[in-house]
Homo-oligomer: A and B are copies of this chain.
Amino acid sequence: MRAAIFRGAFAIQVEQIPDAALLEPTDAVVQITHACICGTDLWPYRGQGPYQPGWQIGHEWMGIVQDIGSEVRTIKRGDRVIASYDFCDGTCEFCLQGLDSACVQGGLWGFGHEGGQAEAIRACFADATLVVVPPEVEGDEALLKAILPLTDVMAAGHHAAVSANVRAGGRVAVIGDGAVGLCATLAARRLGAEQIIVLGHQPQRLALARQFGATDIITSNGDEAVQQALEMTQGGAQAVLECVGAKETIQMAVTLSRPGGTVGFVGAPHGQEVPLGHMFSSNIGLRGGLAPARAYLPELLAEVLAGRLDPSSVLDRTVSLAEVAAGYAAMDQRQAIKVMVRP
């Protein structure tokens, strides 16, 4: 079968690899119909982090079950399934409390495991990892495209909002206008926020933020942006959704929080610095991290199927598997927010 392979910085190649096959009795083999390129995939693409040449890449995917191991109980051949970016055993302490991202046997697709930018994939812990999508969606490409972001970016945006305790009627600030920031905006609206200020710089993305529920937009930087946000919120946002992870944006997130507020951070953090003194004097909390996307999937899938949630617009370009390298280049050059791959 064909799969995207990381060969070094700026070198994603589609190569022939052995067909996906069952290894464990708890595995399923899934034919991938839809996958995505993630902002996280751009790190190895840009030569950052310890991604090794030869590894498969891609952790966002869904498809049709081709085969199941002898111990798989909840999934059957022909089912459409979606996976979260992380696989998990479903039985450990952390899975049982809904924190699959900390699963003791878990991991991320790619990163030395099977990757999602491929024609098919061996899905380990199939009962725990895969969620069945009802057959009514078949043929409804708009609906399938709305479901696909639940694998990662929509879960991350939701996690930011949940971690920051977004409440109905509250004032929310979203830092970042990438796919996660846009999904966080959608999540904040869904949870009933009254004011949603999005801080970003890309006009097209900010226009989408408006569609997703942003009530105010801030395009300035640093202290000026913080001052604007403090004025707009009359003293700070109760919930700040940090969707970038830069040292400056984490600082900004704390600084524009209202006393007693919470920063939900889902941008992988660079650096270690946080304005701890301000957190202390104003009782501002900081919580977040890798989203427990598998735990969120059933709730968010039901919302999409009910027509109450539609993050599909973050997928603004589609490529075939053969064209995947062009998809990486488009995201790297910010010509696309997020690219869908159709193997």
Measured CB to CB, the residues of A under 8 A from B are 94, 97, 99, 101-102, 163, 250, 259-260, 262, 265, 268-269, 271-277, 279-290, 292
Pick the most buried of A259, A265, A284: most chain B CB atoms within 10 A of its CB. Answer: A259
Is B283 in contact with A99, judged by CB distance below 8 angstroms?
A: yes
Which DSSP category, helix, strand, loop or mixed, fits chain A's interface? mixed
Is B268 in contact with A272, judged by CB distance below 8 angstroms?
A: no
Q: Contacts A268-B277, A284-B289 given; 5 further ones with Cβ under 8 A?
A: A99-B283, A274-B274, A279-B286, A285-B286, A285-B288
Q: What are the residues of chain B within 8 A of A275 when measuring CB–CB?
A: 272
Given contact pairs A286-B285, A286-B286, A269 touches B280 in the complex (Cβ within 8 A): yes
Given contact pairs A282-B102, A285-B286, A289-B282, A269 touches B277 in the complex (Cβ within 8 A): yes
27 cross-chain CB contacts under 8 A: A94-B259, A94-B260, A99-B260, A99-B283, A102-B283, A163-B285, A262-B287, A268-B280, A269-B276, A269-B279, A269-B280, A271-B276, A272-B273, A272-B275, A272-B276, A273-B273, A273-B274, A279-B286, A280-B288, A280-B290, A281-B289, A283-B288, A283-B290, A283-B292, A285-B286, A285-B288, A286-B286
* A283, B273: Cα distance in complex, Å: 17
Pick the most buried of A250, A277, A280, A290: most chain B CB atoms within 10 A of its CB. Answer: A280
Task: With CB as the reference atom, state the residue of chain B lying closest to A103.
Answer: B259
Is B285 in contact with A285, judged by CB distance below 8 angstroms?
A: yes
Q: What are the residues of chain B within 8 A of A290 when measuring CB–CB?
A: 280-281, 283
Q: What are the residues of chain B within 8 A of A273 when measuring CB–CB?
A: 272-274
Q: What are the residues of chain B within 8 A of A271 when measuring CB–CB?
A: 276
| Chain A to chain B: the 9 pairs with minimum beta-carbon distance, closest first | A285-B287, A102-B259, A269-B276, A283-B289, A280-B289, A99-B260, A272-B273, A286-B286, A274-B274
* A322, B269: Cα distance in complex, Å: 53
Shortest Cβ gap from A269 to chain B (Å):
4
* A274, B282: Cα distance in complex, Å: 18
Shortest Cβ gap from A293 to chain B (Å):
12
Shortest Cβ gap from A155 to chain B (Å):
13
* A136, B286: Cα distance in complex, Å: 43
* A265, B102: Cα distance in complex, Å: 23
Task: With CB as the reference atom, state the residue of chain B lying closest to A245.
Answer: B280
Q: What are the residues of chain B within 8 A of A277 when measuring CB–CB?
A: 268-269, 272
Q: What are the residues of chain B within 8 A of A265 when measuring CB–CB?
A: 280
* A290, B259: Cα distance in complex, Å: 11
* A305, B174: Cα distance in complex, Å: 46
Q: What are the residues of chain B within 8 A of A262 when measuring CB–CB?
A: 287
Q: What are the residues of chain B within 8 A of A250 when measuring CB–CB?
A: 276
* A285, B263: Cα distance in complex, Å: 10
* A277, B267: Cα distance in complex, Å: 10
